[in-house]
């Protein structure tokens, strides 16, 4: 009888110990820092999606939770509400950084994902300058231009107009997200439409024409930003996030086939219709992504500060917001990653 009781007691103790281990495991899992990251339907964000799917975040002891957005503008609202820890953003970050205390921590890509497109019979194509930019002040004035406000598309429109000595007041600007703008354009609305990859390639196949290289009329870098809260309270997680992002981007830079495969998967996931040719064109010919070594050479936040100053000059934001953008440029975390990775810091 004593032996039976001893055996039962032993089993109870074993179960108790096993239960503790399971609970400890759950507790350990709960302690893995989670980072909610805003991503876009773009090549830049596809790398973040790939990193998450490959488990690169898990290897670094963090948990990336991607949050999909149609453009940068609604990301600002999420930063204001405290719902995002980090994001991949273009010039829309001026508001997150200048108004809601987000920090510019790195640049991850050259901004080339958006073009100003016209139909083949547009009068703008009658004039082209030495930089390959179509149009003139007289031809552009009074036209209707469609694209999402507070994004690189908006910045590109302003840059294009400024290139010819015009302002947004000289045209009829219609604030529309990319899919709606393209649909309206194809139905005969508007004169100029902001189109985002992969639709740019497909639009060109249909005979639409780009008004010029966006890098000429509105040069810009894509930004990685984080909330002021996570920057202050958990900078190590942000450094790990940066490490994960650049690891994924370097995978893509080394292998066009891999990049095209995952970019295609990502576009399909977010509901974008993208031909294999369009995807490969973006990967091989545009090559916007930066390696960590390249990012170490691009002054953190400089592009966004220039954007803020430009927007201030046009009366779109106040001087106080521009100053806040300047104050929230924080290169220290990228520098720390470079030091840990043996990458030369050239800023």
Over residues 253-268, the pLDDT tens digits come to 999 999 999 999 999 9
Q: What is the pLDDT of residues 7-50, one digit of tens each?
A: 333 433 333 333 333 233 333 445 789 999 999 988 989 999 99
pLDDT at residue 111, rounded to an integer = 82
3-state secondary structure the chain: CHHHHHHHHHHHHHHHHHHHHHHHHHHHHHHCCEEEEEECCCHHHHHHHHHHHHCHHHHCCCEEEEEECCCHHHHHHHHHCCCCCEEEECCCHHHHHHHCCCEEEEEEEECCCEEEEECCCCHHHHCECCCCCECCHHHHCCCEEEECCCCHHHHHHHHHHHHCCCCHHHCEEEECCHHHHHHHHHCCCCCEEEEECCHHHHHHHCCCEECCCHHHHCCCEEEEEECHHHHHHCHHHHHHHHHHHHHHHHHHHHCHHHHHHHHHHHHHHCCCCCCHHHHHHHHHHHCCECCHHHHCCCCCCHHHHHHHHHHHHCCCCCHHHHHHHHHCECCHHHHHHHHHHCCCCCC
pLDDT of the residue at 51: 97
Domain ranges of the chain: 33-111+220-341, 114-217
Q: What is the pLDDT of residues 133-175, one digit of tens each?
A: 999 999 999 999 999 987 788 889 999 999 999 999 999 999 9
Predicted confidence (pLDDT) per residue in 293-310, tens digit: 999 999 999 999 988 998
Fold classification of 33-111+220-341 (topology level): D-Maltodextrin-Binding Protein; domain 2 (3.40.190)
Q: Do domains 33-111+220-341 and 114-217 have the same CATH topology?
A: yes
The share of the chain scoring above pLDDT 90, in percent, equals 69
CATH class of 114-217: alpha beta
């Amino acid at each position: 009888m004593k032996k039976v009781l001893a055996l039962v007691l032993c089993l109870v103790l074993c179960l108790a110990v096993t239960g503790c281990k399971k609970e400890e495991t759950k507790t350990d899992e709960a302690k893995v820092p989670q980072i909610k990251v805003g991503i876009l339907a773009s090549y830049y964000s596809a790398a973040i999606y790939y990193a998450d799917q490959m488990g690169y975040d898990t290897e670094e002891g963090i948990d990336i939770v991607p949050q999909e957005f149609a453009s940068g503008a609604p990301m600002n609202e999420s930063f204001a509400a405290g719902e995002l820890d980090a994001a991949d953003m273009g010039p829309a970050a001026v508001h997150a950084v200048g108004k809601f205390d987000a920090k510019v921590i790195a640049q991850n890509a050259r901004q080339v994902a958006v073009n100003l497109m016209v139909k083949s019979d547009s009068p703008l194509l009658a004039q082209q300058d030495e930089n390959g930019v179509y149009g003139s002040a007289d031809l552009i004035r009074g036209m209707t231009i469609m694209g999402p406000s507070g994004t690189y598309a908006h910045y590109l429109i302003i840059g294009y107009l400024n290139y010819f000595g015009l302002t947004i007041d000289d045209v009829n600007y219609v604030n529309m997200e990319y899919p709606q703008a393209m649909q309206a354009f194809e139905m005969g609305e508007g004169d100029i439409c902001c189109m985002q990859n992969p639709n740019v390639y497909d639009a060109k196949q249909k005979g639409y024409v780009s008004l010029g290289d966006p890098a000429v009329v509105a040069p810009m870098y894509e930004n990685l930003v984080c909330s002021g809260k996570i920057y202050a309270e958990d900078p190590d997680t942000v450094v790990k996030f940066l490490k994960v992002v650049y690891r994924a981007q370097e995978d893509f830079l080394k292998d066009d086939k891999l990049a095209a495969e995952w970019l295609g998967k990502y576009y399909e996931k977010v509901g974008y219709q993208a031909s294999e040719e369009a995807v490969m064109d973006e990967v091989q010919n545009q090559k916007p992504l930066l390696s960590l070594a390249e990012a170490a050479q691009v002054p953190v936040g400089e592009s966004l500060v220039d954007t803020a100053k430009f927007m201030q000059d046009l009366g779109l934001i106040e001087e106080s917001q521009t100053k806040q953008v300047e104050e929230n440029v924080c290169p220290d975390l990228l520098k720390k990653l470079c030091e840990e990775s043996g990458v030369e810091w050239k800023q």
